[in-house]
Amino acid sequence: MAYDRDVSGKVLLAKPRGYCAGVDRAVETVKHALELYGAPIYVRKQIVHNKHVVSALEERGAIFVDETDEIPEGATVVFSAHGVAPSVHEEAQTRNLKTIDATCPLVTKVHAEARRFASDDYQILLIGHEGHEEVEGTMGEAIGNITLVDGLEQVESVQVDPDRPVAWLSQTTLSVDETLTAVAKLRERFPQLIDPPSDDICYATQNRQWAVKEIAARCELMLVVGSANSSNTVRLVDVALESGSQSAYRIDFASEIDEKWLDGISTIGVTSGASVPELLVDDVLVWLAERGFGEIEEVTTADEHLLFALPPELRRDMKAAKTN
């Protein structure tokens, strides 16, 4: 039964939202691996940072572990979209694991940049969040050459050798504005700072933030669907507040919405992080419609058509299975 409201409300639905090409590739990798090799398939860390996705894959037979040594010798393991350090690949080889690398190609690009800078003996300042899997993987590519810069306080305190070249890289899922601010402040301290060959903030992160900026000033409330450990999702909440929305909340599921948030609200913005399946957004729209917010305007700021091929080792085995 619909929830009675005195006034009807409107939803501004951000586009693009939800799954990016790297996330879709990673999730499909686990699904195909389960179909091809059978359960269980082990996954090091969460394949992507989303509760629903992880639970759904667990139901299919995926087993998520924190470290490689938790996986039985000789088993099959998928490395998550966030990437791993070379030491993880070495450990997997030692344990005779069959590895499928679902690292997002955009993260792989950052890894390559780290190796290239390190090979030229650059000092690398990595802008990112301590403890994030992507940061750990990137730092592992240039041990001894790379320093993490987590927040503006560390921008002010980081030290470099003035006689060696210095470059910056960044975690791909940060706020665009946050990264540009950090780089500008680093360049004030180190005018010789070298940029990476291309912007490291991924296209999906940028596009979702731009979409939120477009609608934030037009709504009193922004709902961002996604999990708490998803860096790009958390940033969308910040971007919404910085761009004019009076309030903004992150939710995993529609059931987490507090009806008190709707008091005095006429327009609600809705978006989702890059690791969120569309069905979770659909649930939110249904929940809002039942409470008087049935009018939906989709606000498009970019069209995304990028697709990434499945990991080559998986494609090889899938092709072999078809010919047998």
Distance between CA 214 and CA 245 in Å, rounded?
11
Does residue 153 carry a catalytic annotation?
no
Q: How many residues does the chain have?
A: 324
List the structure tokens of 98.
């069959």
Q: Which residues pair with 272 in a beta bridge?
A: 225
**Of the listed 133, 134, 136, 178, which one is catalytic?**
134
Residue 294: Cβ-neighbour burial (10 angstroms; 0-12, 13-18, 19+): middle
Q: Which residues pair with 251 in a beta bridge?
A: 225
List the structure tokens of 184.
């500008």
Q: Do 197 and 169 form a contact (C-beta atoms < 8 A)?
A: no
Cβ neighbors of 263 (< 8 A, separation 6 or more) are none
Strand ranges for 27-170 from DSSP E: 41-44, 62-65, 76-79, 98-101, 123-127, 146-149, 166-170
Q: Do 26 and 47 form a contact (C-beta atoms < 8 A)?
A: yes
Spatial CA neighbour of 102 closest among 160, 62, 153: 62
Report the catalytic residues: 134
